[in-house]
Structures are given as structure tokens and as C-alpha cells.
Amino acid sequence: MTNIKNILIVSFVIFSCMFTPLIGAAAENEIRIADKSGDWGHPSPYLAYGRGPGYLRMHFIFDTLVWKDENSDVIPLLAENWEYITEEEAYVFNLVKNAKWHDGEPFTANDVAFTIEYMKEHPYGWVVLDSVDRAEAVDDHTVKIYMSSPYAPFIGDIGGTMPILPEHIWKDIENPIDYVESDVFVGSGPFKYVDFSKEHGTYQYEAFDEYYLGRPDVDKLIYVKTGDTQMALQRGEVDLASIKPEMAESFTEEGFVVIAGPHYWNKKLMINHNTEPLDSVVFRQALAYAIDRDEFVDKSLRGYGVPASYGLISSESQWASPNIPEYPYNPDKAKEMIESLGYELNDGVFTKDGEPLKFVILVSMISTGGQSTPDRDGEILKNQLEKVGIEVDLVSLETKIVDQKVINWEFDLAISGHGGIGGDPKILYEKVIQVPGTKVSPNTARYDKCEELNGLIDDMLREMDPAKRQEVVFEAQNVYARELPAISLYYPTWYYAYNPDAGVDWYYTVGGVSKGIPIPQNKLSLLVLNTDEGEVVSETQTPLQTENPAQATPLMPFLAVFAILSAFCIKQSQGNRKQ
């Protein structure tokens, strides 16, 4: 009998060792994303840093009413369907009935109405609610949002960008910018907050088991700060990473999926138009003629990019004007225009009233997706401006410091960049005029000196007829290119690569994620679109079970063999007793 027990014990140990890896693999699916910068603020609406990567860190936790899929089609999230009632100038959203907050409380229309009122009282940088009058909960699953004036980009700009807040938590938060308690991370999205390390630049999330669209197929989602994103991907330390364009072919050969990004991000020259001579349209146009954008593309991007449109909106956007004023590289014309403003060229440098024409240019290592890269733009721009008689001092600082100096008007010229230029043309409003009541953006020109441009931007926001709105948008870009409150330099072509064996197919969203974020991290990548029913469901949801569930259980082979062995041993034991 002792021998039989020993056989059973040894058999159990052997088969346990054989199937432990399989059981572990079935139990946990972890996705890691590489990031060079790391810290993009706490992943909560008012605490995340005001650039695209900050919003993305938050959007896995907090859902919006609607969302954009890969092709930029608007699909339901917390709202099942919606309509605009022209007579009442109101939107009615019928909400999902099975959504919960991460703490188990039910999601209701009161949460949506509360979010509108809360963000009107505490402005949230990603959403402008000036055109919203009020919101009312008609019943638990219906909310009505009344407009104070027509607002063309409402569905995408508010419905698809505004994170809905849980009223039972936020009603007691008086200062959202300073509140960092754990309950501020309670959302209704597909992932729950686990941890954020400001020191190490890491973010950790876990799947929300009760997510109303079905549990995500990924158990854990982690952002990893790393100095070399390419190496981290090749070593298997991460599953998604930005890569150098010239490495795209090599990564493809290694079995990774490489995706090339659209041109929805621009490197641009911020201009302090409050100081002379930068306050002159003529001088800003002279700067444009002095800048050879092709040289930036050839040297900074090694050919992986294209010159940007002077009208700000991406030339690849459906909203791009076909008649944008151009400033082909012409240093002689630039000198003539500068001379027309009373400057004299002496020993290769323009002077006026005995003072040289001189600027300090702030530069940093900013690029799309927040990935830091060595700056060459500063030197290129310095050389180009010096060729037309402008002295330049370069000052290299961290991106956040440059941002703050621009916000404080403590600069002459600054090289910066941002996305959002492939989405709704409302980006013209956000990057030209400082939105009242919102936090100042380092990428906003805060330029209100042109009444014609101001009027066109206002019309662009209010015109509800798509064809008429497009005409207004075209003309607004044309005037923007004439005024040049800032000068877009180029669009980089950026590449990401991911490991297909990790089980997630990442993609760039047409027009960008939400309001135009040009980073391939749409949370729908972690879900799958059910095209038959027009809704998003988890990849773990299988409409049709084609095999016996027991057949798919990794323990079944072990249990079957163990049962047979046990029966054999018992039979042997009984035989020994009879003898």
C-alpha cells in the first residue's frame, strides 16, 4: 500500500510540474508599453499632464459617452445611442444600463449631469463647455444636455473626450488639481488603477472584471520607463515601443509588426508676438521665408517626414485647405522684408537704433508621443536665421521647463510641438486663442490681434452645416497662414513596433485618438468591435462555443491521466488484499 501511495504522490508532482507553466500562462496576460519620458502625471482627469500621453494614461481608467474607432467612426461607450433635438437645442443620450464604477457603485445619468456641472465650475483643459448651458438627468439612464449656442464639434470634442466622473466621489472634491487620494482614480473604464510611480515613471493597471462591454482580454497593463525603447522590445521586456524609422525593416524581419504613423503631429516655432519685431506680421512672414523646412526634414528626420502646412491643420486631414499661402525658402526676400521695417545690415547682422537683431531660442527634446529625442532643430534654425542677419542664442532645457517659460511669456522663440492637427478643426481655436477659464497650453499662440481670424474661428465652431463649415475652416487656415502666430516646421513620420504574440493588435486611429492624439494606443485595441451588432465587446467574449469547455481546460489531460493511474493503483491494491 505504501508503494501505491508513493506512486500517486510522485505522479501528482510530475504532472503538476508539467502543467504549471500552462496554468500560469492561462491565468495572466500582461501587456507592457515602453516610454522614454515616464512621468505624465497621475492618471486622473485633473492630474494628468496636459499633453497626449497624459490623456492616454487616464483614458484606460475613465470612459466617455462615445469614442472613435480605428477609422474615426463614432461608436457608443457609456451612451448606447443619442440624438440632437434641433427645436430644443439639446442632445439626448440614452446610457448603458449595466455600467459600474470600479468601486462597485452603479453608473447613472446623474454622473453625466454632475460631470458637466463640475467641469463648468472647475474647467478641465481638454474640454470647453462654454456652449453648454446645463445638463439634466431625465431618468437613471437618460441625460439631456442643453446648449446655449450651436457647437459643431460637440460629439467628438465633448462626447468623445470628456471623462465621466463618479458623482459620489467628486462631489466632495473642492480642489481637483491638488486632490490625490486613491478614490480619484475610480473610473468606469476597462482598466482599474493599481499604481503610479513618479520616481520610476511606471504605470500599472488591471482589468476591470465587471466592465460593461466585457472584461478586457488583458489582465495587466503596464507602462515601463526605459532609455532605449527599441532594445527593450527586442529583449522581450515590453510589447509595444516606438522605434527609429530606419529600423522598421529590421524589426519586420524579426517578426514584429511595424506601423507607420500618419502626419498628425507637428514641430513648430512658437513666437512671442508681444515683443518687437515679432509683433509684426511682416517680420513673421520674413521668418517664414528665412526658414528652409526641407533642411529640417533631411537633417533632423533623415528624410522620414514632410514639411508642414502653414495653416496648422495637417495636410493629410480632410479639413486641409487647398489654398494655403506658401513661403518658399528665399533668404533674399527675408532680408528685403526685414529692411522694410527699418533695419540695416551691417557686417552680416541687422541692427536698429544701434542694437543688433537678436533672439534667444528655447529648445528641448520633445517629439511625438512624448518620446525624447536628441534635438538638431535648434542648430539648423540658428544657422538659417544667421544667414539672413539675425543673431541667435540657443538655450536647451527640459521640455516641461520650456513649456512653462512659453506659458509665462519668458521667451523670444521656442521650438515645441503637439498633435491634434488631424482631428476636428477646432484645434485652430485651441492653438490660436486661449480658451477662457482653462489652463494655459504651451502650444497655444494666444493670438487675438486679427479680427478676421477671430471671426472665422467663431463661425467654425458654430456652423452646423458640414459643407458651409468646411468653407469657413478653409478660409480660417488661409488667414492663419497669412498672420503666422506660430510657424509649423514639419511632420515627422514616426514608427511603432509591437509583438504580435502578445495578443494585441495596436493601430493608429484615423485623425488621432480622442481629439487627435497621434499615438497608437487606442483602448479599443484591447477590445474588439462586433460589427454585426455595432458594439464593442471584449476579446474574451465568444458569441459561439464550438467545443466542449472541458476540452479547452489545460488541466483535463492531467486529471484524466491521474484518474486512470489512480484507478490502476486501487485495482492493484484490491488484488493484493485478495491474495
Alpha carbon distance 489, 471 (integer Å)? 25
Instruction: Please state whether the predicted TM-score (pTM) of the whole model is above 0.75.
Output: yes
Cα angle value 95/67/480 (rounded, 5°): 130
Q: For 493-542, what is each residue's pLDDT tens digit?
A: 999 999 999 999 999 999 999 989 999 999 999 986 454 444 444 333 22
H-only helix segments in 147-292: 154, 167-170, 229-234, 248-253, 281-290
Q: Classify 389 in phi/psi space as left (phi over 0), alpha (psi -120 to 50) or beta.
A: left
Alpha carbon distance 276, 539 (integer Å)? 58
Alpha carbon distance 492, 500 (integer Å)? 25
The answer to whether residue 243 scores a pLDDT higher than 50 is yes
Q: What is the percent of the chain where pLDDT is above 90? A: 79
Half-sphere exposure of 510 (CA within 13 A, CB side): 9
CA proximity to 105, closest of 232, 210, 234, 20: 210
Q: For 311-369, what is each residue's pLDDT tens digit?
A: 999 999 999 999 999 999 999 999 999 999 999 999 999 999 999 999 999 998 765 44
Name the CATH superfamily housing domain 36-218+504-532: Periplasmic binding protein-like II (3.40.190.10)
Alpha carbon distance 183, 193 (integer Å)? 10
Q: Is 530 exposed, middle or buried (0-12, 13-18, 19+ CB in 10 A)?
A: middle
Decide: helix, strand or coil at residue 134: strand
Q: For 148-159, what is each residue's pLDDT tens digit?
A: 999 999 999 999
Q: Which three cell numbers stand for residue 385?
A: 536665421
The answer to whether residue 554 scores a pLDDT higher than 90 is no
Q: For 186-230, what is each residue's pLDDT tens digit?
A: 999 999 999 999 999 999 999 999 999 999 989 999 999 999 999
Q: Where are the domains of the chain?
A: 2-28+545-578, 36-218+504-532, 266-492
CB distance 536 to 276 below 8 Å: no
The answer to whether residue 24 scores a pLDDT higher than 90 is no
Alpha carbon distance 92, 40 (integer Å)? 34
Q: Which three cell numbers stand for residue 452?
A: 478676421
- CB neighbourhood size of 273 (10 A): 21
| Res 527: pLDDT | 87
CA proximity to 203, closest of 98, 332, 58, 102: 58
CB distance 328 to 405 below 8 Å: no
Q: How many residues does the chain have?
A: 579
User: Domain 266-492, what architecture?
Assistant: Roll (3.10)
The 8-class DSSP code of residue 366 comes to -
Alpha carbon distance 92, 411 (integer Å)? 46
Q: Kindly indicate the confidence band of residue 435, based on its pLDDT and cuts at 50, 70 and 90.
A: confident
Q: For 355-397, what is each residue's pLDDT tens digit?
A: 999 999 999 876 544 445 567 899 999 999 999 999 999 999 9
Decide: helix, strand or coil at residue 480: helix
| Beta bridge mates, 146 | 90, 134
| Res 277: pLDDT | 98
* Integer-rounded Cα radius of gyration of the chain: 29
DSSP 381-427: HHHHHHHTT-EEEEEE--HHHHHHHHHTT--SEEEEEE--TTS-TTH
The answer to whether residue 61 scores a pLDDT higher than 90 is yes
Segment (H or E) for 492: strand 486-492
Average pLDDT on 417-442 reads: 87
Lowest mean pLDDT among 203-207, 439-443, 562-566: 562-566
